[in-house]
Every structure is written in C-alpha cells, then in structure tokens.
Amino acid sequence: MARFVPPLSHFFLATLPPPDVRRAIEDTVALARSLWRRVDDDRLHVTLLGLGASSARPEAMIREWIRAIDAAPPEAFHIVVDQLIVRPERVLVKGSEPLLGVLRCQTHLREVLAGAAMRRAGAPLPVAHITLAYACSAPPGAVPILPVSWRATEVVLIQSLVGHRTHRHLARWILA
C-alpha cells in the first residue's frame, strides 16, 4: 500500500501588487500573453525573503516568524518594474535598476528573523520581480516596458503548496 506523502510547502514573505498594478502590468505585456501559461492573479507577488521548505506545516516556526515581525515590522517601500524578462522556464517583470527600498526591507526582515529556525541564513536575497508565467515558448531576452510603480504597504507570510498552484496567506502586516 502506498504511503501518503504530504505536498512540499515553501514558506516566504512577499508583498502583493494591488489590483490596479496587476492590471497595468497585464496591459503592458498583453501582446505576449498567448505565448505562456499565465500565473493566476491571486499568486502574483514580489518575494522578499524565503523562509524554507517543509512537508509538514511547522506551526511553532510560523508562530515564531509572526512574533518576530510583529515586534519590528518593516517600513513601506517603493517598487518599479520596467523590464520584461523572457526565459524558457518563466516570464517575469523586474526593475532595470536595484530597488533600494526593497533591499532595505529584505535586510530588515533577514535581521528580524535571524534567530528563527528553518531560515536559510546564508541564502542570497532574491532579486525583486513578479513571475507572470511559466513554460514560455517565446525567444529568451529582456525588453524594456512602460514603468509600473507602486508603494508596497503590506508584507504577507505565504505558504506555497508546490505543484498545486496554491498560495495560502498565513499572516499579513500593514506597513507604515
């Protein structure tokens, strides 16, 4: 008899683009949409910090992450995306210049969560981007797009069920 193996979950902190920003990005890249398998709107995000992966939901660690961020939430920051990047495995938008506010937020979160278990201490900070699609049939490359910007005013703790196209929002912080 086969043993049930729970799905692998990735846990991460992210900020979510508001609906008007999602529409602006979609409008900007509308011509290329037929070339890829689109990510659902409710999964569009900018990853700020990976927290690790587990096949079980680590309730104690989740409580620890929430407690640490509750004690020292980051400040709001500005995001600009102005490049469409096409790769065979994914399509994304990102800024052509480093986003200093995102880097400050990422550094703050890494420091706040330094003592939290399961956190990959030496992992590099992710480059701020929004993955729009997977399995792209367009030729690879980078193309400038009209800039889309917004003020990120929240951070969300997300559990991603690998292979199930599902994100669960476990906690949310409104940034000042």
Does residue 2 register a pLDDT over 80?
Answer: no
The band of 6, judged by pLDDT with boundaries at 50, 70 and 90, is low
Does residue 36 register a pLDDT over 80?
Answer: no
Mean pLDDT (whole number) for 9-18:
94
Does residue 5 register a pLDDT over 70?
Answer: no
pTM score: 0.88
SS3 state of residue 53 = strand
> Quick one: pLDDT at residue 120?
60
CA distances to 12, 15, 157 from 172, in Å: 12, 9, 6
Output 123 or 5, whichever has higher pLDDT.
Answer: 123
Percentage above 70 pLDDT, the chain: 89
The band of 7, judged by pLDDT with boundaries at 50, 70 and 90, is low
CA distances to 25, 26, 36, 142, 166 from 139, in Å: 20, 19, 11, 10, 28
Over residues 54-89, the pLDDT tens digits come to 888 889 899 999 999 999 999 999 999 999 998 888
> Quick one: pLDDT at residue 34?
62
- Short-list 81, 112, 22, 11, CA closest to 52: 11
Structure-token pair, residue 10? 């990735």
